[in-house]
Structure 1
Amino acid sequence: MPQTETVLRQALKERVRPVLFINKVDRLINELKLDGQQMMARFEKIIKEVNKLIRRYTPEEFKDKWMVRVEDGTVAFGSAYHNWAISVPFMKKTGISFKDVFEHLEKGESKELAKKAPLHRIVLDMVIQHLPNPREAQAYRIPKIWKGDINTPLGQAMIKCDPKGPVGMMITKIVMDPHAGEVAVGRLFSGTLRRGQELYIVGMGNRKYRIQQLSMMVGPDRIPVDELDAGNIPAIIGLKDAIA
């Protein structure tokens, strides 16, 4: 699990709480021909290894709370390629069992399984039930990930995820729009963005950049809006010198 360890270590270093999705479960059944007992043993081994990494790299105050467990829904299983997933809370809610999963996969009914147990529903349920909202997370993440003075107005606004504070945003990627050109996408930690507003870009001196178009990211889609406050993921047209 070298790649898993690298990604998880970086996330925990930045105080990002994890949940676990065990992928390619269909291959355990269709290709490796594991029975239910063998598959459960494989799952237990993966979960144990992941929790060992969490215990190793998580700050002391979060160690117990951030462990992933099948029974509480912080672990899910499925196939991202075939767009299905299950978790214990979902199985209790719907009555779907591992036996049903086996039967569907043995019959080659991945599409039917995806209709009954769609991947997005299970993953979003994990996010909603177990991961902190921006206001809660920033209170303990900002002092760790931001190198500035947390006692300044900007530092305090980011810790509180304050929509009334100074604008503090991290650009994480630049995407190209065939019609509008460069679109700067990132996380808004504090303040409120408005269409037509002027912003500074760190490293570009006193030059101001006007927000020509402001959108909210919803999955892969950009939804145009007039304003967006802290905690959201804005997409901005007009910050042509921004660097991710």
Structure 2
Amino acid sequence: MVKFTADELRRIMDYKHNIRNMSVIAHVDHGKSTLTDSLVAAAGIIAQEVAGDVRMTDTRADEAERGITIKSTGISLYYEMSDESLKSYKGERNGNEYLINLIDSPGHVDFSSEVTAALRITDGALVVVDCVEGVCVQTETVLRQALGERIRPVLTVNKMDRCFLELQVDGEEAYQTFQRVIENANVIMATYEDPLLGDVQVYPEKGTVAFSAGLHGWAFTLTNFAKMYASKFGVDESKMMERLWGENFFDPATKKWTTKNTGSATCKRGLKSEEKDLMGKPLMKRVMQTWLPASSALLEMMIFHLPSPSTAQRYRVENLYEGPLDDQYANAIRNCDPEGPLMLYVSKMIPANDKGRFFAFGRVFAGKVSTGLKVRIMGPNFVPAATLVTDIRKRKGLKEQMTPLSEFEDKL
């Protein structure tokens, strides 16, 4: 059942500190759309049981047939976080409600233009890397595009189930694999980083790296385990984060940390009676979904470590606006001012059912869109001396609308 309404979405649009505009980027077939299903399921749009199999953001028939994303797809998701999950959040916020405007972008090199269009209207990016294949050519390409647009990245090392079910690696081998993936991603980020963004490299001990299995619907960050063990042992959470990554091992016999491997441990988690009849992959999926739901870890990482529009537009204005950076338009973008002049960027045109008509998909960086408003269209061939003014006609497409769920009945 959907956990939000169009009115709730419209209301939270006024809370600019509680919005995250983000893209999901990766090399082809590294699990972007599959992982996105977990976030869509957490918002109640699809059932949790089918998350990972539906690929909700692959809306075209050819995408479903080929199993890859061809066109970028946007979706708005509403979440209400608990006080417990936000108690260590130090940024500005208005309550516990958050709006995630997410764009699932293609990973194939032939569709790089779709990635560029998606990145221009987002402030953060979730970079997905297959832990077995590692950082690939298109991973570097999309990372370079993101950093060129001053997009702040966070990383998830995906398809962890392949490590354990297919490759049958032990804990130490898995750690070395993950470490190598993170280091390779950080080399690219360090190469293309922007001084205005600061340090964009990702660190597991700082909570900017998640470890996930999109098909099975589970994920975690070190923050999840740090909270768990910090309360159990009565130590500081930040110190526990540092211990959980690197050559550190906990000896349960002495209850002390050591640099020597102390062996394996077990985890107990309750299952329902019907779930105990599962075997193999279905059993692993249900256990891990119950213990470490992907949506919780990914949402917390995105809210804590990706910027809100009010933060990002301060340093992105130079990329977004070509005019004088001290005029009223630049200041309106920089301040994310809803009362300023309208500044709207259209990233793509989507054909409507009416012949010759299109829906403009984009983002408002300043001001407000309203029916009857006169706007200046600055297209690809725009010449500052010549102005084209057009009326925004009174069409139902201007209203805040949600696609009827009946259109997705075959996926629910």
Are 1:85 and 1:117, in contact at CA under 8 Å, matched by a contact in 2?
yes
The counterpart of 2:369, out of the listed 193, 213, 216, is 193
Aligned pairs (5 A) from 1:62-211? 62-64=197-199, 66-93=200-227, 107-108=280-281, 109-176=284-351, 182-195=358-371, 197-203=373-379, 205-210=388-393
Superposition RMSD on alpha carbons, in Å? Answer: 3.1
Specify the code of the residue in structure 1 equivalent to 2:364.
L
Task: Quote the offset at 1:36 in angstroms.
Answer: 0.8
- Matched residue type, 2:165: N
Tell me which amino acid in the other structure corresponds to 2:187: K
Cross-structure match for 1:36: 171
Deviations along 1:131-173, one digit per CA (max 9) or x if unpaired, are 1111111111111343232222112111111111111111123
Contact 1:143 1:159 in 2 (8 A): no
Q: Does the CA contact (< 8 Å) of 1:196 and 1:211 recur in 2?
A: yes
Q: 1:176/1:94 Cα in 2 relative to 1: closer, same or farther (>3 Å)?
A: farther
**Contact residue 25 and residue 79 of structure 1 kept, 8 A:** yes
Give the Cα separation in 2 of the matches to 1:40 and 1:5. 22
SS at match of 2:392: strand
Q: Which residue of 2 aligns with 1:3?
A: 138
How far the C-alpha of 1:215 sits from its partner, in A, is 5.3
Higher strand share: 1
Counterpart Cα distance in 2 of 1:93 and 1:216: 39
Alpha-carbon shift at residue 61 of structure 1 (Å): 4.9
Q: Among the aligned pairs, what percent are the same residue?
A: 33
SS, match of residue 167 in structure 2: coil
Query: Which residue is 1:239 aligned to?
Result: none
CA distance in 2, matches of 1:149, 1:20: 35
The alpha-carbon deviation at position 100 of structure 1 amounts to: 5.2
The one-letter code of the counterpart of 1:202 is M
TM-score if structure 2 supplies the norm length? 0.47
Unaligned runs of 5+ in 2: 1-135, 230-243, 245-264, 272-278, 380-386, 405-412
TM-score normalised over the length of structure 1: 0.76
- In structure 1, stretches of 5+ residues that fail to align are 224-244
User: Counterpart of 2:389 in 1: which secondary structure?
Assistant: coil
Structure 2 distance, partners of 1:215, 1:53, is: 42
In structure 2, how many angstroms separate the alpha carbons of the residues matched to 1:36 and 1:81?
A: 21
Query: Residue 322 of structure 2 aligns to a residue in which SS?
Result: coil
**Higher gyration radius (CA):** 2
Q: Is the 8 A contact 1:51 1:67 kept in 2?
A: yes
Matching residue's letter, 2:390: R
Q: Could you say if the C-alpha distance between residues 144 and 22 of structure 1 is closer, same or farther in structure 2, counting changes exceeding 3 Å?
A: same
Higher relative contact order (CA 8 A, sep 6+): 2
Paired residue total: 215
CA distance in 1, matches of 2:280, 2:349: 43
- Give the conservation status (yes or no) of the 8 Å contact 1:200–1:208: no
